[in-house]
Structures are given as C-alpha cells and as structure tokens.
C-alpha cells in the first residue's frame, strides 16, 4: 500500500487535490513546526465511525505525528454518552506508537489521551490571510446600519430572521436567508407569523457565491455593524437526533469578516465565542451588548440583538465612529500573521514537552 505523507482526503488519494491552496497551506504551516515526520488526514465527508477508523490507516505508520482535521470527533452517542471517535483516535495512537493531533474550529485545547490532543486551530478563520482586503473606514450616512448574510437555514438564523420580521426591523438590515432544507423544529410551531415569514424565503441580497471567504459584498461595505451568525450555537434549539456535541464551538470565516471589513462585530454564536476572540487579541465591543451576553442561551442572544438593531441606524453609526480605534486595531490584527503564529506556538510548546 502506498501511504500518503502530506494531505489525505477521506477515501481519496492526494493526487486528486491541489495541496497548494489556502486551506492546505494553513495546515502545512503547522505541520512544518511540529518535530519529526507528520502526515495529515481530513475526514470530511465520511458518515460513520467505521469509515473514520479505516481512513486513519491511510496515513503512513512510520510518521511521528498524525494530524486529523474535521469535526466528527466531537459527536457523542446520546444514548450511551460514549464518544466513539475519541476511543478510535486513542486506540490508533497507542497501537501505532505515535502522537495524534486533532485540529478543531473550537475555543479550547484539551488532552484526550496519553498521546492524543485536541487543539484550537480554526482553519477557516485563519484562512483570512489569503483573502486580505483593503477596506476603508465607513463613510457617514450609510443607508443601513446592520447586515447579516445567511445561506444555510440553521435554526438560529431562521429565528433571527423571523424576529426581525416580526418586529418590523427586517427592512433595516442587509439580510439574506437561504431557501432549502428547513428542519421542522418544534419551536417554529410557537411562532404566530411563521408561515407568513416562510413565504419570504429565500431572502436574497446580491448573493452570487456560496461560502465566499471575501468581504466583497454590500453586507460588508454598506453597513456599520455585521451580525455574525456563526455555523453553530448552543444546543438549546439545535442538534442532530441521536447525537449531541460536547460543545457547540466553532470559529469560521464568518467571524473574521467584520474585522477585515472594518465593521462593528455582533456575534450570534456559541457560548464563549467572544471570550475566545478576545484572548486572541481582538476587540469584541463588549459595550455593545448586555453584561454576560457571551454566555447567554441563544434565544436570549437573539432578543439582545433585536434590541440593538431596534436602536436604529443613527445610533449604530454614532457607536461606529466612537470605536474607530478598536475597529482599526482589529483590522490590523486580522491582516497580520500574529494569530496563526500564536496558535502554532501554543501547539508546538505542548508537543515539545
């Protein structure tokens, strides 16, 4: 068998992919900092634990460290409370006498076995290095104060859109919401105008690209505040039947966009999201939100967002120009390599001990 030593995509060989793309290059920077020989396997696209364990065997057994990317490791069986992915990873590390590094999009680092670690290394956030934008400070007099782009019909995004509609605020936001794969969550049945709201979907707003990593959109150029609806929030209103996530933590390109576009960020994300970004050095505008907002349940966060939007365009414009120092700081930080360097240094220090 020919083992792969650089990048392995689940079920497919390296030659099918171009490793010289931003996503792989972000991983390579970390690979090059880890002592000894390494290989990397991405398990995106596999559907069960048996496939997951099989894919690990594609990595060269002679390497010192195997790097795993994807989020399957975080799912735990709801009936038994067992995380089979962690068991598989620890068995692989022990049987092959090697270190295993799982790179996550989450907020925390933790050791899950004698030679198995999970590290925060949010690749889709770090990819900002390849999509740098020379954004200017916003002018006075923009028509809209707020923006929020939403492609997938995640429940927290649907609820945000509904409540903006219900309060008559939707027209005050540069807002989009996708139009397929709506899951029938019971909470929708409690909303009196929900059927009318569904009639508006899809809500399009100059949308031409799915999962675009740039800030070349009116949502980022023509609004003072970007409402970041991250990929996941807490499990109060979400979840996959039969499984639960240990933590709904995820930092993606959605979170770097307001920094890169010189906007005020307003995060509708998992608990501790703002704390994580603050530890990385960003100004998260804590004076914009109520005390304790970062750790509120998602339904309470949505109500807080509605109150902020309800203050109006003039109010957020004034807030924007009162925080130009923080906005500039965030822009300079996201345009540098300092965040990635910091995370790589943290990971290397742990593995060297």
Q: What angle do CA 120, 122, 124 make, to 5 degrees?
A: 175
Residue 131 CA to residue 257 CA, distance in Å, equals 10
What b-and-e string marks burial along 259-298, b requiring 16 or more CB atoms within 10 Å of the CB?
A: bbbbbbbbbbbbbbbbebbeebebbbbeebbeeebbebeb
| Confidence grade of residue 4 (pLDDT, cut at 50, 70, 90) | very low
Could you give phi then psi for residue 288, rounded to 5 degrees? -80, -30
What pLDDT does residue 15 have?
43
Structure tokens at 116: 């198995």
- For residue 329, the surrounding DSSP H or E stretch is helix 324-334
Confidence of residue 315 (pLDDT cuts 50, 70, 90): very high
- Please state the domain extents for the chain: 7-126+338-352, 133-334
Residue 219 pLDDT: 95
Task: Give pLDDT, residue 211.
Answer: 58
Fold (CATH) for 133-334 = Rossmann fold (3.40.50)
Q: Is the pLDDT assigned to residue 142 strictly greater than 70? A: yes
Q: What's residue 14's pLDDT? A: 44
- Does 245 score more than 80 pLDDT? no
Exposed e or buried b for every residue in 97-108, given b needs 16+ CB within 10 A?
ebbbbbbbbbbe
Summarize the confidence of residues 172-179 as an average pLDDT: 92
What does pTM read for this prediction?
0.90
Q: What percent of the chain has pLDDT over 90?
A: 59
In eight-state DSSP terms, residue 210 is S
Mean pLDDT of the chain: 87
The pLDDT confidence band at residue 242, using thresholds 50, 70 and 90, is very low
Give the lowest-confidence range in 141-150, 193-202, 239-248, 314-323: 239-248
CA distance 224 to 277: 20
Beta strands in 121-183 (DSSP E): 146-148, 173-175
SS3 of 8, please? Answer: strand
Share of the chain above pLDDT 70, in %: 89
Q: Tell whether the model's pLDDT for residue 285 goes beyond 70.
A: yes
Confidence bin at 117 (pLDDT 50/70/90): very high
How many Å is the Cα radius of gyration of the chain? 21
Check pLDDT > 60 for residue 8.
no
Average pLDDT over residues 11-33: 71
**For position 23, what pLDDT does the model report?**
79
Helix (H, G, I), strand (E, B) or coil at 94: helix
Q: Is the pLDDT of residue 51 over 80?
A: yes
Note the pLDDT of residue 206: 67
Between the two ends of the chain, the Cα-to-Cα distance in Å is: 33
Residue 13 has pLDDT above 50, yes or no: no
Consecutive H or E run containing 183: none
**C-alpha count within 13 angstroms, C-beta hemisphere, residue 309:** 29
Distance CA 2, CA 141 (A): 61
In tens, the pLDDT along 65-113 reads 999 988 777 777 777 888 889 999 999 999 999 999 999 999 999 999 9
């Amino acid at each position: 068998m020919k083992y792969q030593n650089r990048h392995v995509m689940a079920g497919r060989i390296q030659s099918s992919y171009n490793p010289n793309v931003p996503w792989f290059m972000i991983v390579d920077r970390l690979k090059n900092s880890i002592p000894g020989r390494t290989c990397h396997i991405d398990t995106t696209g596999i559907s069960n634990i048996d496939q997951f364990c099989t894919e690990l065997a594609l990595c060269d057994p002679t390497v010192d460290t195997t790097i795993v990317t994807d989020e399957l490791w975080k799912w735990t069986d709801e009936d038994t409370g067992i995380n089979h992915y962690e068991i598989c990873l620890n068995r692989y590390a022990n049987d092959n006498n090697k270190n295993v590094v799982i790179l996550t999009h989450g907020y925390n680092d933790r050791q899950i076995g004698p030679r198995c670690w999970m590290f925060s290394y949010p690749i889709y956030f770090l990819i900002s290095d390849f999509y740098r934008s020379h954004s200017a400070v916003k002018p006075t007099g923009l028509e809209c104060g707020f923006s929020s782009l939403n492609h997938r019909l995640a429940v927290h995004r649907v609820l945000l859109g509904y409540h903006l509609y219900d309060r008559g605020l939707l027209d005050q936001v540069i807002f989009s919401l996708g139009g397929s794969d709506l899951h029938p969550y019971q909470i929708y049945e409690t909303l009196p105008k929900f059927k009318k709201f569904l009639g508006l979907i899809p809500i399009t707003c100059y949308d031409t690209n799915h999962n675009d990593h740039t800030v070349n959109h009116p949502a980022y150029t023509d609004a003072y505040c970007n409402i970041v609806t991250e990929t996941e929030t807490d499990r109060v209103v979400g979840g996959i039947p039969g499984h639960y996530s240990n933590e709904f933590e995820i930092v993606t390109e959605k979170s770097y966009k307001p920094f890169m576009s010189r906007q005020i960020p307003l995060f509708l994300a998992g608990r501790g999201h703002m704390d994580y970004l603050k530890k990385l050095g960003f100004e998260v505008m804590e004076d914009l939100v109520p005390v304790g907002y970062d750790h509120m349940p998602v339904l309470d966060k949505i109500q807080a967002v509605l109150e902020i939007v309800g203050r109006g365009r003039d109010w957020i414009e004034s807030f924007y120009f009162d925080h130009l120092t923080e906005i500039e700081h965030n822009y300079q930080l996201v345009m540098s390599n300092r965040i990635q360097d910091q995370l790589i240094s943290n990971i290397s220090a742990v593995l060297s001990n």
